[in-house]
Structure 1
Amino acid sequence: MPPPRRRRPPPPRRPRWPIRRPRRHPPRRQGARGSAELPSFAAFGALGRALATRNARIFFGGSMVAWTGLWMHRIAVGWLAWELTHSAFWVGIVAFSDLAPAALISPVAGAVADRLDRVRLTTVAQGVIACEAATVATLVATGQMRLEYLVALELASGTAASFLQPARQTLLSGIVPRADLPAAVACNSLVFNVARFIGPALAGLVIAGFGVAPAVACNAAAYTLALISMHFMRVDPAHRRGHPSTGSLWGEVREGLDYVRRHPGLGPLLGYAAMIGVLLRCVQELLPPFVERNFAREAESLALLTASFGVGALVSGVWLTARGRLQGATRISIMSGLAQAIAIAGFAATGWFPFGVLCATLIGASASLHGISTQQLAQTAARPEMRGRVLSLWGMITRACPALGALILGAAGEAFGLRLPVMVMVALALLVFAWGLSRIKHIEASLEVPPG
């Protein structure tokens, strides 16, 4: 007899209702210190990544307060120098006093920022700036301010700022992941330009209603608050110091200069930025003579023009922050020099104030594009142990080069008026742009490497 057939078990009955399978959520993104990214920032793309950690929000909040006070201080001191002297040359000297110390101190300050605790160095420098602003406000309020006092105090503030810049900027790598560093650099510049818009507007109102002293006193209060905010940050010890001291301070300064000089991308990029800073950035330091001589206006118009620079810078900063990537930054840095030269030529040539405001907005936008993209490239390309020294050179360029240009333009303005010297500087800047354009491919190949 054949063996009995085995019956196959009936297939399982499928339920008539849909089965809900558990969703697999992607892991929450970790910040610089392991804190999870906040969901509310996810919709903002690169800006959200830059603000994802508690440290970043404290850092950028303190920066906003400090820089708002700084712009109020700059407007007030520039107007005070013009009231004391009515000389474009002496306004240039006061601007030079604030910015020039970077020429001598920045390379040393960068080496110091790589050796010392950056949080403590930032705190001390902010305290010095707050004390300087309080002293200026007191002397003005009591009627004891003299031009030589103002120059000496601005020299002290500029010296402290030369140490503050590399110390504070190098902390960015410790509050965001390396992949988000370009977005954090753009966010940092965005905060600066928001303050550049708010600060002058507040300064114009305060100066018109209460005088110079209260506007400067606001800067003292702002830097005091920024100083206090540093105590709430929790920065990993690995990011508080670049490296232990390995030799003499001067030897490390020379090492940083040689590193930039020999780098195939950083050397030409920072050289281009230095020449543009001397020839074009100086116009923003001599606004009081432009306001009174070219436009025949008062302090309120000075604040409006400075705020216009801030509006342009803010728009371009928002765009670069949302862009959030490194590729194309070299082309933006070089081409923005051409745009800045054209806008400055229009600003110097006109006597019609509305057109001057438009040109000021374009100057602010192009200068912001140049500054943010250059800093993105420098921050990302520099080796960690060299980052403080590289950023100190960038700080020297952004402070000492405009100071030198302001000194030259102020002296030439006394002899020839402001329009002719500005046009000569614009023509020289066009030659610099042609040189930068010829080097653009080599710089791109060296610097535009995606961060790991």
Structure 2
Amino acid sequence: MASLGALGRALTTRDSRLFFSGSMVAWTGLWMQRIAVSWLAWELTGNAFWVGMVAFCDLAPAVLISPIAGAIADRVDRVQLAIWTQVAIALQAAAVAAITASGHMTIAILLVLEVVGGVAASFAQPARQTLMPGIVARADLPAAVAANSLCFAVARFTGPAIAGPVIAAWGVVPAIAANAVGYGFACLSIALLRVDARERRGHPASASLWREVTGGIGYAWRHPGLGPLLLYAAMGALLMRGVQEILPPFVERLFGRGAESLAVLTACFGVGALCAGLWVASRGRLEGTVRIAIFAALAQAVATVGFVATGWFPLGMLCGALIGAVASMHGISVQTLLQSAADPAYRGRMLSLWGLITRAFPALGALILGGLGELFGLRLPTFAAALLFLGVFAWGMTKLKTIEAALEGQSASSANR
């Protein structure tokens, strides 16, 4: 991983400034829409299950789409793919805002539109991230990965901080419309990039798309470090991330608060993620990154238990910040290891698997948690998920040395040459 000096270098070029400014604006709009849509689903139904279903419909398309999207990103013009997928996200946001403003929004329509947005986002994620090696020097790539995650953390703070007062004053429509504007700006920033031609396209199509999809999954499965690390991350996302995806029921039922407190709490997640992300980026070495990824997930389970165990909002804010911090440490570490160790020919497919983990597994976790929350209350299912994760952590510890040797040793260095 890179020092703060390298982090600064990764942000000094024209193309990196365009790329990360576009990311910041788009993700700020994205978080505004996420808060607004989650609150809209709660207003339409008053049911935690349907709030979880909305999150599921947004994130679950990654199960089918992400592996295909990664294979496509490895064989087409990544700039054009990034532009058109972001156009689709902007149009989806505009449609949600327009239908809601007209008074015709229903939970069924919202679910359909969230599926559309989820499909577009599943294609956009690997398309955007595979562009980074083409806009920064190879030595600064880990810093660019950290900068990408930090942009997301900042947006996770600023988006909800803006969305809360906007929703309280004018409703959800302006907050959702802001995402359409944000992704419109992101499309323009991508179009202006001067991406290295060698990185703009992955490789000529040498096999059927299906064979490339299965080839990417097989590559991850056979890799002694990437396979276990991705599996560990997937189980953590399934068991621990559901709370973050269905916050409105927690805010109202555990703390007895409304939309402004939802925005404050989500901003706390973002502040924690930003602070921890800066620390991870400042370490200046790859050694120890696997341990951060493994132990940060355990810390997330502990912080999540603390969050649902209290009904005192200030303590909930503190636990939310801790959840955001350790989740950021885990995410940046896993992405850095992926970028460092993966064969360049498989980079898009490995990043798409990471996209699947960060979208589909939290979606499934949110759906399960929302359903069980209606039957047993929100606390008991969350405690059970944390208990199950202790078993996952124990398994991860048995694989720790193997993963470290594969991803932090000579093999990781040679794979990136």
Name the TM-score, length of structure 2 as normaliser.
0.97
* 2:381 counterpart of 1:427: no
Structure 2 residue corresponding to 1:357, chosen from 300, 317, 323: 317
Tell whether the 8 Å contact from 1:311 to 1:364 is kept in structure 2 after alignment.
yes
Supply the distance in 2 between the matched residues of 1:167 and 1:111 (Cα, whole angstroms): 10
Supply the distance in 2 between the matched residues of 1:373 and 1:194 (Cα, whole angstroms): 18
Structure 1 letter corresponding to 2:199: H
Tell whether the 8 Å contact from 1:183 to 1:325 is kept in structure 2 after alignment.
no
Instruction: Note the C-alpha offset of 1:434.
Output: 1.2
Instruction: State the match for 2:301 in structure 1.
Output: 341
Structure 2 residue corresponding to 1:216, chosen from 142, 166, 176: 176
Structure 2 letter corresponding to 1:79: W
Structure 1 SS opposite 2:246: helix
Instruction: State the match for 2:210 in structure 1.
Output: 250
Tell whether the 8 Å contact from 1:46 to 1:321 is kept in structure 2 after alignment.
no
Instruction: State the match for 2:250 in structure 1.
Output: 290
Instruction: Note the C-alpha offset of 1:325.
Output: 2.8
Structure 2 SS opposite 1:115: coil
Instruction: State the match for 1:199 in structure 2.
Output: 159
Structure 2 letter corresponding to 1:211: G
Instruction: Note the C-alpha offset of 1:282.
Output: 1.1
Supply the distance in 1 between the matched residues of 2:165 and 2:190 (Cα, whole angstroms): 30
Tell whether the 8 Å contact from 1:272 to 1:432 is kept in structure 2 after alignment.
yes
Structure 2 residue corresponding to 1:305, chosen from 249, 265, 269: 265
Structure 2 SS opposite 1:116: coil
* 2:283 counterpart of 1:323: yes
Larger fraction in helix: 2
Instruction: Note the C-alpha offset of 1:246.
Output: 0.4
Q: Within 5 Å, which residues of 2 pair with 1:150-189?
A: 150-189=110-149
Instruction: Note the C-alpha offset of 1:44.
Output: 4.8
Residue correspondences, number? 411
Structure 1 letter corresponding to 2:222: R
Instruction: Note the C-alpha offset of 1:107.
Output: 0.3
Instruction: State the match for 1:226 in structure 2.
Output: 186
Supply the distance in 1 between the matched residues of 2:144 and 2:241 (Cα, whole angstroms): 24
Tell whether the 8 Å contact from 1:92 to 1:407 is kept in structure 2 after alignment.
yes
Instruction: Note the C-alpha offset of 1:232.
Output: 1.2
Instruction: State the match for 1:64 in structure 2.
Output: 24
CA RMSD of aligned residues (A): 1.2
Tell whether the 8 Å contact from 1:186 to 1:324 is kept in structure 2 after alignment.
no
* 2:85 counterpart of 1:125: yes
Superimposed CA distance per residue, residues 372-403 of structure 1 (whole angstroms, 9 cap, x where no aligned partner): 00000011111111000010000000000000
Structure 2 SS opposite 1:351: coil
Instruction: Note the C-alpha offset of 1:217.
Output: 0.4
Tell whether the 8 Å contact from 1:190 to 1:321 is kept in structure 2 after alignment.
no
Tell whether the 8 Å contact from 2:7 to 2:140 is kept in structure 1 after alignment.
no
Instruction: Note the C-alpha offset of 1:52.
Output: 2.7
Supply the distance in 1 between the matched residues of 2:398 and 2:144 (Cα, whole angstroms): 30
Q: Which runs of 4+ in 1 moved over 4 A?
A: none
Listed as ranges, the gaps of 5+ residues in structure 1 are 1-42
Supply the distance in 2 between the matched residues of 1:75 and 1:300 (Cα, whole angstroms): 10
Residues 94/247 of structure 1: CA separation in 2 closer, same or farther (3 Å cut): same
Superimposed CA distance per residue, residues 197-239 of structure 1 (whole angstroms, 9 cap, x where no aligned partner): 0000000011011110000000000000111111210012110
Tell whether the 8 Å contact from 1:182 to 1:325 is kept in structure 2 after alignment.
no
* 2:358 counterpart of 1:398: yes
Supply the distance in 2 between the matched residues of 1:194 and 1:74 (Cα, whole angstroms): 15
Supply the distance in 2 between the matched residues of 1:232 and 1:327 (Cα, whole angstroms): 36
Instruction: State the match for 2:333 in structure 1.
Output: 373
Tell whether the 8 Å contact from 1:46 to 1:323 is kept in structure 2 after alignment.
no
Supply the distance in 1 between the matched residues of 2:163 and 2:389 (Cα, whole angstroms): 32
* 2:31 counterpart of 1:54: no
Superimposed CA distance per residue, residues 115-167 of structure 1 (whole angstroms, 9 cap, x where no aligned partner): 11000000000000000000111111111111111000000000000000011
Supply the distance in 2 between the matched residues of 1:70 and 1:321 (Cα, whole angstroms): 24
Instruction: State the match for 2:346 in structure 1.
Output: 386
Instruction: Note the C-alpha offset of 1:53.
Output: 1.7
Structure 1 SS opposite 2:195: coil
Structure 2 letter corresponding to 1:153: L
Tell whether the 8 Å contact from 1:166 to 1:392 is kept in structure 2 after alignment.
yes
Supply the distance in 2 between the matched residues of 1:82 and 1:257 (Cα, whole angstroms): 37
Instruction: Give the percent of matched residue pairs that are identical in Structure 1 and Structure 2.
Output: 64
Supply the distance in 2 between the matched residues of 1:132 and 1:326 (Cα, whole angstroms): 39
Report which stretch shifted further, 428-437 or 197-206.
Answer: 428-437
Supply the distance in 2 between the matched residues of 1:238 and 1:206 (Cα, whole angstroms): 44
Supply the distance in 2 between the matched residues of 1:84 and 1:231 (Cα, whole angstroms): 38
Q: Within 5 Å, which residues of 2 pair with 1:106-125?
A: 106-125=66-85
- The answer to which structure, 1 or 2, has the higher relative contact order (CA under 8 A, 6+ apart) is 2
Supply the distance in 2 between the matched residues of 1:372 and 1:57 (Cα, whole angstroms): 20
Instruction: State the match for 2:399 in structure 1.
Output: 439
